[in-house]
Chain A
Amino acid sequence: MAISDQTTPNIPMKLDIGEQRQARITGTVLIGLSILVALVFAMDSDGLAVFRLSRTTDALPLPNLAVPAQSFNYLVSAVLAFLGVRQFARGGARWTSLSLGIGMAIAVAAFLVWATAGKSFSLTGMLQATVVRAVPIALGGLAGVLCERVAVVNIAIEGMLLAGAFTGALVGSLLGGIPGLAAAIAIGGLFGFILAALVVSYRMDQIIAGVVINLFVLGLTSYVSSQVFQEYRTLNNAPVFRAYKIPLLGDIPVIGPMLFQQNLFVYGALIMVAVSTYYLFYTRRGLRARAVGEHPRAADTLGINVYRIRYINVTLGGMVAGFGGAWFTLGSVGRFDENMTGGRGYIGLAAMIFGRWHPVGALLAALVFGFADSMQQKLALLQTPIPSEFLAMAPYIATIIVVAGFVGRARAPAADGKPYIKE
């Protein structure tokens, strides 16, 4: 009793202090952003920033969105300042995270307006590219969710993506697009199964197993592409899945080109996110899978076969990653290059954490990364004074900030990363 009397009052106090600290930090960040927007973006921008919303060929063309750059940025700065001061004034406010999110979003908008001032820029084009670039990250993140929900840390997503890309190109060149896609999914599933075997049955350290699969796939695909593809170029020339416009829905301005004029991979990713959300949270099997991730011993006691569920989920995750890997070849260029995934799998892992181990969250996080990625591409065309290398870094820095900022609040499955030894 004495102990509990001493400790109980401390806990809420501590939490309050943590919340206040968070509010202080958020407030400081927001006020810093406000000053940045006012001094750098607003002072320096004049004229109109013209955002093109539709192409002339669209069925329902929208007029261009013309924003007076300077006044818009002063307005943004004022809103940021208000949000920041509010954090200090009402320490521990409930809207801390929301304020930070809104603040970041409008700061990015201010940045875009500043970069576009006096020029014109296709907003819809960038949003469309955002969705396209988010696909492999979202699928990587989804693969991560499926694996980590059963407590298997999957660092090997990168390798599975690369294997899917490679197989898609190879089989796609030999047999055509659909068999190529099927083979990519199969090879992803195979590596998922191998990962499951290594970590579940042979209890290898999960991170080491993942790194090894990445190294192995990188070595194998690089070896074959330099040993075989160099000589037989026809083996590395796969057909590409073209965009398919869904009737009616595809004609909606802005949203149509973003979501309904895309290729198979975008539709596939959206469907998979929906299906796996349903699977994980609305089916008996999904409940069992999550039980295995949270408390394998309890699940085992209830008669759930922990090993089998881990095998199934990790293999499924591998198949999703294999599908995502095929995007690189069958969904965009049709040709495999050494290490062409370039760390997307790891970003997918970050998207999973950012998305709080939820398929929909992972998709939304992937869209944020896709946005950073496509913005960097489009901004290179606008010739901003910021060096292109720094723009290229932006998604990675964003990943670090996200992982550092959100990991404390998002909770991983309790047994994540731990092998389970059946008694």
Chain B
Amino acid sequence: MSTPSKTDKAIQDLLRRAAPPRAEFEDLVIVPIFAVVAALILGAFTMLATNVELATIGQSYIALLKGSVGSLNAISETLTAAAPLILAGLGLALGFRAGLFNIGAEGQILMGGIAAVITGFSLPGLPFVLLLPLCLLSGALVGALYAGIAGWLRAATGAHEVISTIMLNLISYRLLDYLLRQPFIQREGRADPISKSVPDNAELPRLLDWLDPNLRVHAGIFLALAAVLVVYWILYRSKIGFEFRASGASPDAARFAGMRSGLIIVAAMATAGALAGLAGANQVLGVLDRATPGFSAGIGFDAIAVALLGRSHPFGVLLAGLLFGALEAGGRQMQVDAGVSIDLIGIIQALIIVFIAAPLLVRAIFPWGFRKPADVRKE
């Protein structure tokens, strides 16, 4: 009797792998879709509450759609906005997997970006094939070092990374302001804090400017895609990735298994910072062409939402980054077409995360269609 039951079990296992059971499907697909729809509806209520007319609300959501996927230009804008979100979001996701709540992507983006700009204009003589990778590398390196501070503080003194990364963000704004006023960085003849421009041979090449010079999508999106694969490989195929996940899932177990928790914390923070630094380099080399105060424009905070929405999985982050990029691009169109402030997008994004991160809440609001909380607890 034992043999058939064993094969039964094997077959069941196989089946489970081929077709994930309903619970998993619900978590990975239905809940996110539900979260987006519910957030959009609540966003509409917010507009109603602030005296926006019903017709304008409809118009604004049409503009949101049109501005994100409605034309080639819209798609180009979506991809342009998505690339840094994906890069920084991957870093944060990797941190989450390792049990680190890194809020410092904003500062790491700023530091990585300014490093890439400085490398770019300091070595204008180098050929494109050398200079661009060098710029990206310096961005990643400086981002890693900046995040490494918080990692080291956590490992050496136990200072919680949430507070230290927030402080490092606030410090980075001032540091950037200071750097942008230094004579070797500030653009000649300008009194305001603005850096010199990145030379043409350090820029991420535009992909579609042969079709229309206004299409801004650039090679950074490939960088982001490559990063998705690399992070997937690190997390699920490499030893250090296993250690990240192990110490994230159970720090004590990981320590008893002989993993060096301090080293893992610093390594995870540095990798996350490198990705955020790359996001910063991507912005200055692909879109902005220079550094100005606060050029990160909140990408680091949006990336937290992206990582949470993507369930800290590289492919999830990719999809979430594309969605948030679409919201960003569509939000700009919404502001132009319907006159609704782009800050509405921030509300929608926060609501999306609430619904994603509190599945019990979703099930409480919508008891039908989802499994009962009791089933969840049993697993």
Q: Which residues of A contact B (CB under 8 A)?
A: 155, 198, 201-205, 207-209, 211-213, 215-216, 218-220, 222-224, 226-228, 343, 346, 349-350, 353, 387, 389-390, 392-393, 396-397, 399-400, 403-405, 407-408
A404 to B156, CA, bound (A): 9
Q: How many residues of B contact A (CB 8 A)?
A: 46
Asked if A393 and B174 make an inter-chain contact with CB atoms under 8 angstroms apart, the answer reads yes
Q: Which residues of B have CB within 8 Å of A212?
A: 350, 353-354, 357
Asked if A408 and B361 make an inter-chain contact with CB atoms under 8 angstroms apart, the answer reads no
Q: Could you mark each residue 136-175 of chain B with 1 if its beta carbon is under 8 Å from any beta carbon of chain A, else 0?
A: 0000000000000000010011111011101110110011
Asked if A207 and B101 make an inter-chain contact with CB atoms under 8 angstroms apart, the answer reads yes
Contact check: which of A202, A204, A396 meets B170 at CB < 8 Å?
A: A396
What is the interface of chain A mostly: helix, strand, loop, or mixed? helix
Asked if B162 and A155 make an inter-chain contact with CB atoms under 8 angstroms apart, the answer reads yes
Asked if B364 and A202 make an inter-chain contact with CB atoms under 8 angstroms apart, the answer reads yes
Most buried by A among B51, B167, B341, B354: B167
Q: Which residues of A have CB within 8 Å of B168?
A: 396, 400
Asked if A222 and B343 make an inter-chain contact with CB atoms under 8 angstroms apart, the answer reads yes
How far, in Å, is A236 (CB) from chain B's closest CB? 14
A215 to B298, CA, bound (A): 11
Given contacts A390-B178, A396-B171, A204 and B357 within 8 Å (CB-CB): yes
Q: Which residues of A have CB within 8 Å of B240?
A: none
| B349 at interface by CB-CB < 8 Å | yes
A162 to B22, CA, bound (A): 41
Asked if A215 and B305 make an inter-chain contact with CB atoms under 8 angstroms apart, the answer reads yes
Asked if A215 and B353 make an inter-chain contact with CB atoms under 8 angstroms apart, the answer reads yes
Asked if B101 and A404 make an inter-chain contact with CB atoms under 8 angstroms apart, the answer reads no
How far, in Å, is B205 (CB) from chain A's closest CB? 34
| B344 at interface by CB-CB < 8 Å | yes
Contact check: which of A198, A227, A390 meets B343 at CB < 8 Å?
A: A227
A407 to B162, CA, bound (A): 13
Most buried by B among A202, A228, A349, A350: A202
A349 to B165, CA, bound (A): 13
Q: Which residues of A have CB within 8 Å of B167?
A: 346, 350, 396-397, 399-400, 403
Asked if A389 and B346 make an inter-chain contact with CB atoms under 8 angstroms apart, the answer reads no
Contact check: which of B157, B162, B308, B347 meets A216 at CB < 8 Å?
A: B347
| B46 at interface by CB-CB < 8 Å | yes
Given contacts A393-B174, A396-B167, A222 and B346 within 8 Å (CB-CB): yes
A227 to B301, CA, bound (A): 22
Contact check: which of B101, B153, B301 meets A215 at CB < 8 Å?
A: B301
Most buried by B among A208, A387, A400: A400
Q: Which residues of B have CB within 8 Å of A387?
A: 178
Q: Which residues of B have CB within 8 Å of A224?
A: 50
Q: Which residue of B lies closest to A400 (CB)?
A: B167
Contact check: which of A155, A223, A392, A404 meets B157 at CB < 8 Å?
A: A404
Q: Which B334-379 residues sit within 8 Å CB-CB of chain A? A: 340-341, 343-351, 353-354, 357-358, 360-361, 364
Asked if B343 and A403 make an inter-chain contact with CB atoms under 8 angstroms apart, the answer reads no
Q: Which residues of B have CB within 8 Å of A353?
A: 163
Asked if B50 and A209 make an inter-chain contact with CB atoms under 8 angstroms apart, the answer reads no
Asked if B164 and A404 make an inter-chain contact with CB atoms under 8 angstroms apart, the answer reads yes
Given contacts A216-B351, A223-B50, A346-B166, A397 and B171 within 8 Å (CB-CB): yes
Contact check: which of B163, B177, B305 meets A350 at CB < 8 Å?
A: B163
Q: Which residues of B have CB within 8 Å of A404?
A: 153, 156-157, 159, 164
Given contacts A400-B167, A403-B160, A404-B157, A226 and B343 within 8 Å (CB-CB): yes
Asked if B163 and A227 make an inter-chain contact with CB atoms under 8 angstroms apart, the answer reads no
Given contacts A389-B175, A400-B153, A219 and B162 within 8 Å (CB-CB): no
A350 to B160, CA, bound (A): 10
A213 to B304, CA, bound (A): 13
Q: Which residues of A have CB within 8 Å of B178?
A: 387, 389-390
A218 to B167, CA, bound (A): 18
A353 to B171, CA, bound (A): 20
| B63 at interface by CB-CB < 8 Å | no
Asked if B174 and A218 make an inter-chain contact with CB atoms under 8 angstroms apart, the answer reads no
Asked if A203 and B350 make an inter-chain contact with CB atoms under 8 angstroms apart, the answer reads no
Q: Which residues of A have CB within 8 Å of B301?
A: 215
Q: Which residues of B have CB within 8 Å of A346?
A: 163, 166-167
Q: Which residues of B have CB within 8 Å of A208?
A: 308, 353, 357
Q: Which residues of A have CB within 8 Å of B340?
A: 227
A276 to B103, CA, bound (A): 31
Q: Which residue of A lies closest to B347 (CB)?
A: A219
Most buried by B among A155, A201, A203, A403: A403
How far, in Å, is B28 (CB) from chain A's closest CB? 18
Asked if A393 and B175 make an inter-chain contact with CB atoms under 8 angstroms apart, the answer reads yes
Q: Which residue of A lies closest to B149 (CB)?
A: A400
Asked if A204 and B358 make an inter-chain contact with CB atoms under 8 angstroms apart, the answer reads yes
How far, in Å, is B256 (CB) from chain A's closest CB? 17
How far, in Å, is A353 (CB) from chain B's closest CB? 7
Given contacts A346-B166, A346-B167, A205 and B350 within 8 Å (CB-CB): no
How far, in Å, is B333 (CB) from chain A's closest CB? 17
Q: Which residues of A have CB within 8 Å of B357?
A: 204-205, 208-209, 212
Q: Which residues of B have CB within 8 Å of A399?
A: 163, 167
How far, in Å, is A230 (CB) from chain B's closest CB? 9
Given contacts A202-B358, A207-B101, A223-B50, A349 and B304 within 8 Å (CB-CB): no
How far, in Å, is A377 (CB) from chain B's closest CB? 14
Given contacts A202-B364, A403-B163, A226 and B341 within 8 Å (CB-CB): yes
Known: A222-B343, A227-B52. 4 other contacts (CB 8 A): A202-B358, A223-B341, A393-B175, A407-B157
How far, in Å, is B222 (CB) from chain A's closest CB? 29
